[in-house]
Structure 1
Amino acid sequence: MAPQRFREQFDQIQRSMPDVPLVMGPDDSAEFFYEKGVVLARDGDEARLVEDTVRDHFTTMAGLTPDHVRRASPETNRTGITRIQVGDPGEGDGGGDPNVAHALRSLRTMEGRAGRRLISRNHVVSIAVNACPGDEPVPVPLSEPPNPAAADTSYDEGTAVGVLVIDTGLMHDYRSCPLLAHTDGDAQLRECDEDGILQQYVGHGTFIAGLVAAVAPNTHVTVRNTLNDAGAILESELGEKLFEAVDRDGWPEILSLSAGTSNGRTDGLLGVHAFMEELRDQRTLLVAAAGNNGSATPFWPAAYAELPGWETSVLSVGALRADGEFGACFSNHGGWVKAYAPGERLTSALTGFGTPVPYVYQHSTYDTCRYGFGYACTCQYPRHSGVLSEPGEVPAKPDQVMFEGHAQWSGTSFATPVVAGLVASHMTETKEPDPRAARKQLLAANTEYAEVHGAHVPALLPPTWRPVTVEVPAGEA
């Protein structure tokens, strides 16, 4: 992700989490966000070992005392994770946290002996940064059908496949969209600001629910607003929220998650690992977004699909561009991404059914693709000026549009529910009750492929999806 967009997203998320000081990481670059002054460890003996080791290490560091190291949360959560404070969160700026870096280094030798990770940053897991969306939504007239369009399958309550979407909540008028007749769940807590302007990222969960329902009408979709605050949540909280969701709704056939983070490692996220271990022993298939870094760096939890033990329980999804023949410029890629689906310029439900709702763009489009691609990607088109920009480049008047129901949006966030819908549709068509078996059958039967960074990868294309041709303004081609 381009540094400019990363900084813009950082500021947006920090505003949504004012009580949690955040920094960019790892230490001197912009790859992910994490909580300042805090590390994670497993409860019990490991937490005590981490605490004691870090405290001893800090006695040799100027400006720090053993008193800086203390428990920041009790050992009562189901994820089995303890937050340990290792410095003053009020010190420094957002450019990295040397206290956390020193704490990680102090356990490096012990981790090698133990053969597993003992300590971790507390990363921000988000739809807004590195995961999705890849751009901001564009209004589409209600006269234009969704893309993918609704499949010709009827809904049957007795055989409907259960799909749980962990995302932002549902917009207040979502029932006005016929596709969402069999969708329920949590409401989006705050849709508009004081001026009645649609806030950034709201409607993300509604858009995703519409894609699942279009590809697989015989589904009952439940949307939980776990990621309501600008689509962001701390790693230490996400694991607990995932447990709460499945405790409330039961383990679904399919869990669709369009959020995640990189962490500079290849062994997953400590804060969600307990959930992932329990997932492995269930029937549920987790379909997870590969992220929008334009990178081969593993993105979690999608990259669990590459780890031994999760090969059948996790399906990681990258995004194809609007023609379906190549990878989208923003999509993450690599051997850990197991399938690709259309994820650029999809059309689904957003908000404004009956009453148009204004939206002011936050990001400005680029003159060229920020990932270096040469096609007419969403980095460039359609062009708009946004509120957030580099110093000295803020437009006098950012562009405003009106949403009247449908939107066009891009990101691996949206390729993910397309694949979740295809698995659900396969279950209905073949009467296959096991979603993990359906995943295997769907990939085995697939005959479509696309090119992503020189590799030929499985391309899962819904029958009702249609390629989109981008009209570049005259003089810009």
Structure 2
Amino acid sequence: MSGRRVRREELAREVERLERNCAARTQGRQFPLAVRWDPSGNEVEYLYRNHQLICDVDDLDETLEAFDRVGAERPEAITDGPVGLKVLDVGDRDAADLAEQLLGVVDEDVVGLNYVLDTQGNTVMCPVTEPLPWNAPVPVLGEPVGPGRPRLAVIDTGYHPPVAEQSGFARFSAVKDNHEPDDEVYFDDGSTIRPYGGHGTAAAARLLAVSGSESVTVQVRDCLVGGAVDELTIVNDLDHVVRAGVDVVSVQAGLYARPGCSPKAFNAFYRRVLRRHPDTVIVVAAGNNGSDAPFWPAAYPWTIAVGALTDGGDSRAGWSNVGHWVGVYASGENAVVPFPNGTYEYLDGTRAEFSQGHALWSGTSFAAPVVAGMIARRMVERGVTAPVARDIVLAEAEIAALDGVGPRLVLP
């Protein structure tokens, strides 16, 4: 059997695992995950939530007329989404096929798919590395001293309080009660850790290891479940934290879209929300696909896209996404993070026992919160706004830039 065929079969199994994760969620958050393969059949072109489309409220009439023009039945139901969007329930029809029809008669910015974000890439539907048991404390920078008191948000899988106790990571005190619980940590047996269980808690720890905890407050939002979240859900969380006045937001997920398209919900979020809150800075993981193809929302000019460096910080991690849209690189390989205790089953079927409250984990998911944490740190030290602190951090990264890589954030 050829290597390409083997790789295709492995990828198909990983996609099926992600589909099961999405279907097995709790609290009514299940959704049908669908996949569109590239023409070669060897890579995933994009993921999407099936059976629904989205359009702007101002484009609803044009969208419904487009259904008529292509001879398709109109949506079975139309409901309100976040940031002025309408959600079109198209029944059991495949959303991507229907979008192809509609985009033959209207522009791509009129109607679109509800894309699915994940923490991975389109050639592998699993982490760069799955977590490994580790017995060592989280390395931290000293507490910053200054007049700033930034408000921070981590949009991920939520926060799991038992991890704070198990890991002994004192800086979780900055989270306090300002979080949504990560209730997808374990399977029903209460001891087997789900894929991505504890991911949001780990990302929050990475941020706090740099920002310190005495001068910041952090809220951790819960939307990225089982490795994936639909676009409308994450935009709803972004809308919430930005309107609440958060200074810096760290997002550890992204998506690939239909070629030539950008995700409609993120476009609406920027137009209706973010540009009215110019003092909020959004930091986003650049993705783990080793590609320069746009990975959204990191590829937008209104975010800071963070790629990953190797463990020593002296080169780009080979799996990190690259491109002109990646604004800075930070350490994302072999990050020491708090992690739930229990049994973890790897993709190859082997298992590991976690009993020390920590793990080694790699990905741009663990590089982005380092940059967000450094922006918060400069806000504390210098008493400046988030955009000013962002510019300071990017200028520092430019000074430490590596040839062939780009701006690099090197921690002291």
TM-score w.r.t. the length of structure 1 is 0.74
The partner residue of 1:222 within 219, 225, 230 is: 219
Q: Please report how far the alpha carbon of residue 332 of structure 1 lies from its aligned counterpart in structure 2 after TM superposition.
A: 0.9
SS of 2:223's equivalent? coil
Q: Please report how far the alpha carbon of residue 77 of structure 1 lies from its aligned counterpart in structure 2 after TM superposition.
A: 2.9
CA spacing shift, 1:78–1:85, aligned 2, 3 Å: closer
Equivalent in the alignment of 2:111: 119
User: 1:132·1:412 contact (CA, 8 Å) conserved in 2?
Assistant: no
Structure 2 gaps, min length 5:
1-6, 24-29
Q: Please report how far the alpha carbon of residue 123 of structure 1 lies from its aligned counterpart in structure 2 after TM superposition.
A: 0.8
SS of 1:137's equivalent? strand
Equivalent in the alignment of 1:198: 193
The partner residue of 1:171 within 136, 145, 160 is: 160
* Deviations, residues 217-252 of structure 1 (Å, cap 9, x unaligned): 04322111122x2132211332223223445xx221
Equivalent in the alignment of 2:27: none
Equivalent in the alignment of 2:26: none
The partner residue of 2:233 within 225, 237, 241 is: 237
Equivalent in the alignment of 1:381: none
Q: Please report how far the alpha carbon of residue 400 of structure 1 lies from its aligned counterpart in structure 2 after TM superposition.
A: 2.2
Equivalent in the alignment of 2:352: 400
Equivalent in the alignment of 1:367: none
The partner residue of 2:289 within 288, 293, 307 is: 293
The AA in structure 2 aligned to 1:24 is V
Cα distance in 1 between the residues matched to 2:221 and 2:66: 39
User: 1:167·1:257 contact (CA, 8 Å) conserved in 2?
Assistant: yes
The partner residue of 2:265 within 262, 267, 271 is: 271
Cα distance in 2 between the residues matched to 1:70 and 1:222: 37
CA spacing shift, 1:191–1:106, aligned 2, 3 Å: closer
Equivalent in the alignment of 2:344: 359
The partner residue of 1:153 within 143, 147, 150 is: 143
The partner residue of 2:406 within 434, 437, 457 is: 457
Moved more, 238-247 or 283-292: 238-247
CA spacing shift, 1:84–1:120, aligned 2, 3 Å: same
Q: How many residues align?
A: 385
The partner residue of 2:68 within 55, 74, 90 is: 55
The AA in structure 1 aligned to 2:321 is N
Q: Please report how far the alpha carbon of residue 165 of structure 1 lies from its aligned counterpart in structure 2 after TM superposition.
A: 0.4
Cα distance in 2 between the residues matched to 1:200 and 1:301: 23
CA spacing shift, 1:438–1:27, aligned 2, 3 Å: same
What is the root-mean-square deviation of aligned Cα atoms in Å? 2.6
User: 1:296·1:334 contact (CA, 8 Å) conserved in 2?
Assistant: yes
TM-score w.r.t. the length of structure 2 is 0.85
Which structure has the bigger radius of gyration?
1
The AA in structure 1 aligned to 2:392 is Q
Q: Please report how far the alpha carbon of residue 23 of structure 1 lies from its aligned counterpart in structure 2 after TM superposition.
A: 2.0
The AA in structure 2 aligned to 1:436 is P
User: 2:99·2:112 contact (CA, 8 Å) conserved in 1?
Assistant: no
CA spacing shift, 1:296–1:259, aligned 2, 3 Å: same
Equivalent in the alignment of 2:312: 323
The partner residue of 1:251 within 241, 245, 249 is: 245
The partner residue of 1:439 within 387, 390, 404 is: 390
The AA in structure 1 aligned to 2:313 is G
Equivalent in the alignment of 1:209: 204
Cα distance in 2 between the residues matched to 1:448 and 1:274: 35
Cα distance in 2 between the residues matched to 1:123 and 1:232: 10
CA spacing shift, 1:443–1:4, aligned 2, 3 Å: farther
Q: Please report how far the alpha carbon of residue 37 of structure 1 lies from its aligned counterpart in structure 2 after TM superposition.
A: 3.6
CA spacing shift, 1:36–1:4, aligned 2, 3 Å: same
CA spacing shift, 1:6–1:166, aligned 2, 3 Å: farther
Cα distance in 2 between the residues matched to 1:3 and 1:404: 36
Cα distance in 1 between the residues matched to 2:280 and 2:337: 25
Alignment of 1:40-51 (within 5 A): 40-44=54-58, 46-51=59-64
CA spacing shift, 1:5–1:25, aligned 2, 3 Å: same
SS of 2:31's equivalent? coil
CA spacing shift, 1:34–1:276, aligned 2, 3 Å: same
Q: Please report how far the alpha carbon of residue 11 of structure 1 lies from its aligned counterpart in structure 2 after TM superposition.
A: 2.0
* Deviations, residues 5-36 of structure 1 (Å, cap 9, x unaligned): 64344223322332533321266451221123
Structure 1 gaps, min length 5:
60-65, 90-96, 364-385, 388-397, 464-477
The partner residue of 1:36 within 38, 47, 50 is: 50
CA spacing shift, 1:181–1:124, aligned 2, 3 Å: same
The AA in structure 1 aligned to 2:315 is F
Equivalent in the alignment of 2:84: 80
SS of 2:257's equivalent? coil
The AA in structure 2 aligned to 1:21 is P
Equivalent in the alignment of 1:420: 372
The AA in structure 1 aligned to 2:31 is V
User: 2:131·2:361 contact (CA, 8 Å) conserved in 1?
Assistant: yes
Q: Please report how far the alpha carbon of residue 102 of structure 1 lies from its aligned counterpart in structure 2 after TM superposition.
A: 5.0
* Deviations, residues 230-282 of structure 1 (Å, cap 9, x unaligned): 132211332223223445xx221100001110114566320222222211221
Moved more, 211-220 or 284-293: 211-220
The AA in structure 2 aligned to 1:12 is R
